[in-house]
Amino acid sequence: MTIRWAVIPRGLDVRDESNWEQIADLVGAADIAVMTAEHGTAIHYATSPGRQAPADILVCDTPGLAVAAVAADCVPVVLDCGTEVVVVHAGWRGVLAGAKMPCHAAS
Q: What is the pLDDT of residues 5-49, one digit of tens each?
A: 677 777 888 888 898 898 888 888 889 999 998 988 999 999 999
- How many C-beta neighbours within 10 Å does residue 83 have? 10
Q: What is the pLDDT of residues 46-76, one digit of tens each?
A: 999 999 999 999 999 998 898 988 788 888 8
Cβ neighbours of residue 15 under 8 Å, at least 6 residues apart?
A: 34, 70
pLDDT value of residue 8: 76
C-alpha span between 56 and 71 (Å, rounded): 10
Cβ neighbours of residue 44 under 8 Å, at least 6 residues apart?
A: 35, 52, 53, 54, 55, 57, 58, 59
